[in-house]
Structure 1
Amino acid sequence: MMVRMLFLLLLNVLAFDFSKAQYALDSTLTLAPIFSDHMVLQRSKPIRIYGKAASGSNVNVQFLNKALTTKADQSGKWNVVFPASKEGGPYAISVSANDQKITVSDVLIGDVWLCSGQSNMEFALQDAQTGPEELRAEKFDSKMRLLKMEGIVSTGDVAWDSASLSKVNRYEYFSSSWQTFNKASAASFSAVAYYFGKKIKQEASVPIGLIQVAVGGSPTESWIEHSLLEQNQQFAGMLGNWPHSTLVMDWCRERAAKNISNAQSADQKHPYQPGYNFQSGIAPLTDFPITGVIWYQGESNVFNVPLHAQLFEMLVKSWRQKWGYAFPFYYVQLSGIERANWPEFRDSQRLMLAKIPNSGMAVSYDLGDSLNVHPIRKKEVGERLALLALRNTYKKNAVANGPVPARAMLKDRVIRIQFAENEKLSTQGSKPLIGFEMITQDGKRMPANASIQGNEVVLNIPKDGLITTIMYAYQPFTRANLYNEAGLPAPTFSMKVK
């Protein structure tokens, strides 16, 4: 009897201590993780500041010489909204509640760009072809800031330990804080995002904040809200038993299996799982206004081109709905590499431009590596993305696209390819034009004898061929060389002949 009483007493003490600790945790004043020293807030949008505090407590927020007061709801959540502001800073945010106070210093107001995707977006500046030279120069603009949302554990060819597996299951995959722009913070940051932001900052002259949230190897479906995938019967097969679904790329399933091989839970989660990266990385950002998104991803979906097209359109549409406005979305057409399906995938990416408004595509096949899925020429990719933003978002007088095909017309045994803008066509180094092919009525594929005539490309047709389709840069790894006078390449494309 005495032992039982002591046991019950011990349980009560433990329960009291847990309750006390939980109350202390619930009553702690906090800001959402996106708020930290050196951050950038989006200009020209209402500024929402939010966090948690003791349920029912009054929270006071001071910013830009204004003070707002609100009350934490039953779950402890609170938020205030300050009027939109033009660019400027540095400023401070002061938050107080129940004798607790938080100050966020060195805050800028400018343009925030979300930089997302898989390993080619994650690819660090220090590993890029021009990265070491860039870092040695140490020319870092104090009005640029970086937020690298880094995975707590690598999705490389390793088995995770129990602590990492547990955190992944709690959707605690990303950790981050804003950093000033310096050699240390830039070295491990996305090279594509770095060069994008640097060029934007030089041309637009506003503070720039770059948020990197990218996961090597991650498929498109991992960046889409799980409930949206559930609503579409097309994607139902990748949800319930995704580690064995043929709708998920083999490589992704195999790598995830290696990562979670030590898992004890039958329902172990993983960043390649449909919906995971949205919940863990994107959902926490949707209350934080941004200028737009740059995106470099697709390698983990190239095995199923039609499926990716549906997923990608859903991703862009759903992200815009979550933020509440149709921000610009600029993405990279995949590079050249000796792998099947890549030309068809690149062409599908081009066709998505007509389906997704306020979007743009940077061509990169001419920067590829025939054997390496991670080409090191990242400066050109970032700067091509920046040109799209400068022209379309910042309304600068910039040429942002290479030659855009408009139509292919057949007349007198000659096919003339016309382009959307009356621009001067050229090849690099004035070399003979290569990269064009033709498909005959009976399905035969053959190289084409192509030449530039003014602002058109002319293809000569063999006497015994009835041509139905022309293709450009349609080899997996290609040295196709059609450019405009701004030095920008034409995209991979296919087109019916009229």
Structure 2
Amino acid sequence: MRRALILLAALAATPASAQSLLNGLFSDHAVVQRDRPLPVFGTAKPGETVTAAFAGQTLSAKAGPDGAWRVDFPATPAGGPYTLTASTPSGSASASDVLVGDVWLCSGQSNMEMQVGASGDAWNQINNGAPNDTIRMATIEKADGRAPAADYKKPPVWKPTNKDNVGAFSAACFYFARELQKTRKVPLGLVHASWGGSGIEAWLTPTALRKVGGYDDAIETLNLSIKDPAAANRRWGETIKGWWSAKHPTEAAVAPWTGAGPWTQAPDGLGVWERWGVPALAEFNGVVWFKTEVTLTPTQAKQASTLTVGQVDEMDTTYVNGVGIGATSGAWLDRSYPLASGALKAGKNTIVVSAYDTYANGGMYGDPTKRALTLADGTRLPLTAWTYRIEPRVGVDQPRAPWDTLAGVSTLYNGMLAPMGPYAYAGVAWYQGETNVGRDQTYAPLLQALMAERRQGQAADLPFLVVQLANYGAFAERPGPSGTAALRDAQRRAVTADGHAGLAVTHDIGNPYDIHPGEKQEVGRRLALAARRLYGEAVTTGPEVVSAKRVGDTVVVTFAQVGDGRLAARQSDHVIGFELCDAANACRWADGRIDGATVVLSGAGTKVRFAWADSPVFNLFDAAGLPAGPFEVPVQ
């Protein structure tokens, strides 16, 4: 009994926020940023005095009304290990074996998320790689949010590089650090925060998105969803109605949310539509509308209720009697939507689900018994007889809800980056863009906004490294449009316009048949070259276009950053991959020859394209073996 009382007393003396007295990144084996003032922060009881100690320095601060506290230790050179402590009258926290070095934030979507164990030469790299206690890795748990989170979904854990840990970490991030440390011989801390399939908008704050422009309505709807979810769902339902009506201006009488129009009986249990045996759905990515009906008595209709429709791959917008009542992204999530009293009516009630799939399988799947309407009195009415209609793929695809996990606004910033607070880092490596293909016109300003935002509270010249999209998809039999090439060019333009950004070109090391190429060691090497160049080292990162000028009956394309000062055409005495385009945007292949650091194209045009295809075929490299990156530039 006495031991139990002692234990209870000890627990009572520890603040409820003891786990976050030090921010979760300040944990055992952490790496903190060298040579800059070091912010250390966390959460205590409001008004408490927090005393923090690190590397022979002791500082104090008072927690604010929200419990937040922060101290800034003087700049510390690379070294360690040290112990970091924080204490209050009611509790304490510490992090041991802390190194001081360079901290890199690695972020993006699935190609940054791809683990060492899933990349090329994995077994050899994991089992024969040398352990390295000075490269340490921490992964931020996946989490989204409609407002900035104050803490992590799960506290990150720092791990040293060894065969037990490295296989589960980001391959591009790890190989970048391993290469960089060959010349930057300091401890390296890697913080990985990625989510496959995510759009860049999900990683930006509302403030940044408003500056870019065009996101006000989405942000207002997101904010409304926090204060009044039902009103936000109704508003979003109207947004989808507007999208559909714009595509079908003369078909209001058969709008799908009304239940009217042509519907086809769906298979029992529904499931993945690619497996139905319906030719039109065999490889369909897009929107399929689903409908069912439920008949209620007047007593039943008066009750509040809950509608469950199970799992939907990958996004749904759900209507009851023509009113939007919910929208969720994530194929792994069961949909459950509350309905207030008055949402239902006596007699027939129409339930319509818009299921939007963008990749691989689609449909309403999982346990069919989960689809039901459950009334407040406990009555459960199964939803079984479903019909469907296919939405033709014409024009712009269906919008995504602003709280969509992967394609919403600010959702991943809120859930994964906001908890990091002002944790100091040396630079950012960004590998993302596949999800934004088709929206290249907005990507460059969004990427510039992301760079500016990640530098806030950090160094003004913080290096920002961008991995350009790899080759994936169709080869070009003739010049034409390419959404992937346009996105690559947007990445190039954003990096070129920024004085402290670098580009890792990868359109020669991808896989035309796999959007997740396994060659991540070379990605890491090229990222390291980009970082070293930003550090002022005499290295090149591959030929960069400078200009295209008309000279007689030719166009001369000039390049900078040419390794060993000369361009090289592989396996030919001519350069392939160039196009000359006229004012009407009609393009043709252009024959090219190398002249030092220039390529001379035969013919005339108003602009030049290079490697303009999803999976381009080209042969222009420099003497150092690095490829010329894709581009579109005007002819001067």
Give TM-score, length-normalised by structure 1. 0.84
Q: Displacement, 1:189? A: 0.8
Could you tell me which residue of structure 1 aligns to residue 166 of structure 2? 186
Q: Deviations over 1:334-353 (max 9, x none)?
A: 11122641111111211112
Could you tell me which residue of structure 2 aligns to residue 480 of structure 1? 618
Q: Displacement, 1:48? A: 1.9
Residues 1:242 and 1:459: Cα distance change in structure 2 (over 3 Å): farther
Amino acid of the structure 2 residue aligned with 1:125: V
CA contact (8 A) 1:29 1:97 kept: no
Partners of 1:43 and 1:468 lie apart in 2 by 49
Amino acid of the structure 1 residue aligned with 2:77: K
Which 5+ residue runs of structure 2 have no aligned equivalent?
Answer: 1-10, 222-234, 244-284, 287-312, 317-327, 340-400, 475-481
Is residue 123 of structure 2 the alignment partner of residue 96 of structure 1?
A: no
Q: Displacement, 1:186? A: 1.0
Q: Displacement, 1:229? A: 2.8
Could you tell me which residue of structure 2 aligns to residue 195 of structure 1? 175
Amino acid of the structure 1 residue aligned with 2:96: S
Alignment counterpart, residue 405 of structure 1, candidates 532, 536, 545: 545
Could you tell me which residue of structure 2 aligns to residue 13 of structure 1? none
Give the 3-state SS of the residue equivalent to 2:425 in structure 1. Answer: coil
- Trace 1:16-31 onto structure 2 (pairs within 5 A): 25=16, 30-31=21-22
Partners of 1:265 and 1:438 lie apart in 2 by 58
Is residue 529 of structure 2 the alignment partner of residue 387 of structure 1?
A: yes
CA contact (8 A) 1:168 1:270 kept: no
CA contact (8 A) 1:152 1:175 kept: no
Partners of 1:52 and 1:169 lie apart in 2 by 13
Amino acid of the structure 1 residue aligned with 2:86: V
Give the 3-state SS of the residue equivalent to 2:329 in structure 1. Answer: helix
Amino acid of the structure 2 residue aligned with 1:371: Y
Give the 3-state SS of the residue equivalent to 1:73 in structure 2. Answer: coil
Could you tell me which residue of structure 1 aligns to residue 276 of structure 2? none
Q: Deviations over 1:182-220 (max 9, x none)?
A: 122210111110111001111110110010001111111
Residues 1:185 and 1:115: Cα distance change in structure 2 (over 3 Å): same
Runs of 4+ in structure 1 off by over 4 angstroms are: 20-24, 26-29, 165-175, 230-233, 241-246, 249-255, 265-270, 429-432
Q: Deviations over 1:316-355 (max 9, x none)?
A: 2222225463411110111112264111111121111233
Count of residues in Structure 1 that have an aligned counterpart in Structure 2: 461
Is residue 516 of structure 2 the alignment partner of residue 374 of structure 1?
A: yes
Residues 1:385 and 1:238: Cα distance change in structure 2 (over 3 Å): same
Q: Deviations over 1:439-460 (max 9, x none)?
A: 2355432111112122221222
Is residue 465 of structure 2 the alignment partner of residue 316 of structure 1?
A: no
Residues 1:366 and 1:70: Cα distance change in structure 2 (over 3 Å): same
Give the 3-state SS of the residue equivalent to 1:467 in structure 2. Answer: coil
Amino acid of the structure 2 residue aligned with 1:277: L
Could you tell me which residue of structure 1 aligns to residue 631 of structure 2? 493
- Trace 1:96-135 onto structure 2 (pairs within 5 A): 96-98=87-89, 100-135=91-126
Residues 1:454 and 1:176: Cα distance change in structure 2 (over 3 Å): same
Is residue 206 of structure 2 the alignment partner of residue 226 of structure 1?
A: yes
Q: Displacement, 1:168? A: 11
Could you tell me which residue of structure 2 aligns to residue 353 of structure 1? 495
% identity of equivalent residues: 30
Partners of 1:122 and 1:425 lie apart in 2 by 34
Alignment counterpart, residue 37 of structure 1, candidates 23, 28, 37: 28
More deviation in 437-446 or 449-458? 437-446
Partners of 2:207 and 2:113 lie apart in 1 by 27
Could you tell me which residue of structure 1 aligns to residue 390 of structure 2? none
CA contact (8 A) 1:402 1:488 kept: yes
Alignment counterpart, residue 579 of structure 2, candidates 428, 437, 450: 437
Alignment counterpart, residue 414 of structure 1, candidates 546, 551, 554: 554
CA contact (8 A) 1:114 1:290 kept: yes
Q: Displacement, 1:415? A: 2.1
CA contact (8 A) 1:125 1:186 kept: yes
More deviation in 307-316 or 267-276? 267-276
Alignment counterpart, residue 448 of structure 1, candidates 590, 597, 608: 590
CA contact (8 A) 2:80 2:97 kept: yes
Alignment counterpart, residue 417 of structure 2, candidates 276, 282, 290: 282
CA contact (8 A) 2:24 2:152 kept: no
Could you tell me which residue of structure 2 aligns to residue 262 of structure 1? 335
Alignment counterpart, residue 217 of structure 1, candidates 183, 192, 197: 197
Give the 3-state SS of the residue equivalent to 1:284 in structure 2. Answer: helix
Give the 3-state SS of the residue equivalent to 2:165 in structure 1. Answer: helix
Residues 1:64 and 1:274: Cα distance change in structure 2 (over 3 Å): same
Partners of 2:417 and 2:462 lie apart in 1 by 15
Partners of 2:573 and 2:134 lie apart in 1 by 42
CA contact (8 A) 1:174 1:281 kept: no
Could you tell me which residue of structure 2 aligns to residue 70 of structure 1? 61
Partners of 2:59 and 2:506 lie apart in 1 by 48
Could you tell me which residue of structure 2 aligns to residue 294 of structure 1? 429
Q: Displacement, 1:221? A: 0.6
Residues 1:56 and 1:417: Cα distance change in structure 2 (over 3 Å): closer
Partners of 2:437 and 2:505 lie apart in 1 by 16
Partners of 1:131 and 1:333 lie apart in 2 by 23
Could you tell me which residue of structure 2 aligns to residue 303 of structure 1? 438
Which 5+ residue runs of structure 1 have no aligned equivalent?
Answer: 1-19, 154-164
CA contact (8 A) 2:107 2:429 kept: yes
Partners of 1:58 and 1:236 lie apart in 2 by 40
Give the 3-state SS of the residue equivalent to 2:493 in structure 1. Answer: helix
Partners of 2:64 and 2:80 lie apart in 1 by 31
Partners of 2:591 and 2:137 lie apart in 1 by 48
Q: Displacement, 1:256? A: 1.7
Partners of 1:181 and 1:274 lie apart in 2 by 34
Partners of 2:516 and 2:162 lie apart in 1 by 25
Partners of 1:42 and 1:210 lie apart in 2 by 11
Q: Displacement, 1:129? A: 1.1
Alignment counterpart, residue 204 of structure 1, candidates 166, 184, 188: 184
Residues 1:230 and 1:436: Cα distance change in structure 2 (over 3 Å): closer
Alignment counterpart, residue 80 of structure 1, candidates 66, 71, 77: 71
Residues 1:382 and 1:174: Cα distance change in structure 2 (over 3 Å): farther
Give TM-score, length-normalised by structure 2. 0.67
CA contact (8 A) 2:488 2:630 kept: yes
Could you tell me which residue of structure 1 aligns to residue 389 of structure 2? none
Give the 3-state SS of the residue equivalent to 1:183 in structure 2. Answer: coil
Give the 3-state SS of the residue equivalent to 1:147 in structure 2. Answer: strand
